[in-house]
Amino acid sequence: MPYQIEMASIAEAEADQAFLWISQITSRENAQKWYQGLLQKIESLATMPKRCSLAPENEYFSQEIRQLFYGKGKSLYRILFTVIETKNVSLVRILHIRYFAQETLGKSN
């Protein structure tokens, strides 16, 4: 049974922000390709989401936080998500879309 995918509003905003940044530094066409690829990568979580590794953020939160990488090189992003499994629901909730160089969420300096 495939998992449902749900995106938190902050994850949607982060994806939109990345789209705008990419369109400014390259082109709108590149940004659209990036965004479509991001959505496809997220949709891949409908099958076997637990194949993805635990994120560094997992250490700081009570829920299990996993990560899926998207992109390569200096264009690498981390899709942070949690898997919710109950008797009635199998859900992947996308929490954040983070540029790989951003500091780990929950980590205090």
58-82: pLDDT as tens digits: 999 899 999 999 998 888 999 999 9
pLDDT of 73:
86
Q: Is residue 9 part of a domain?
A: yes
Q: What is the sign, positive or negative, of the torsion defined by CA atoms of 43, 44, 47, 48? A: negative
Average pLDDT score over the chain: 94
Contact 55, 68 (CB under 8 A): no
CATH number at residue 24: 3.30.2310.20
pLDDT of 74:
83
| CA-to-CA dists, residue 75 to 22, 48, 52, 84, angstroms | 9, 25, 19, 29
Domain range for 56: 4-99
Predicted confidence (pLDDT) at residue 17 exceeds the cutoff of 60: yes
Q: Is residue 12 part of a domain?
A: yes
pTM: 0.93
Predicted confidence (pLDDT) at residue 109 exceeds the cutoff of 60: no
Q: Is residue 65 part of a domain?
A: yes
Q: Radius of gyration over alpha carbons of the chain, in Å?
A: 14
Q: Is residue 64 part of a domain?
A: yes
Q: Name the domain count of the chain.
A: 1
C-alpha to C-alpha distance for 83 and 51, rounded to whole angstroms: 11
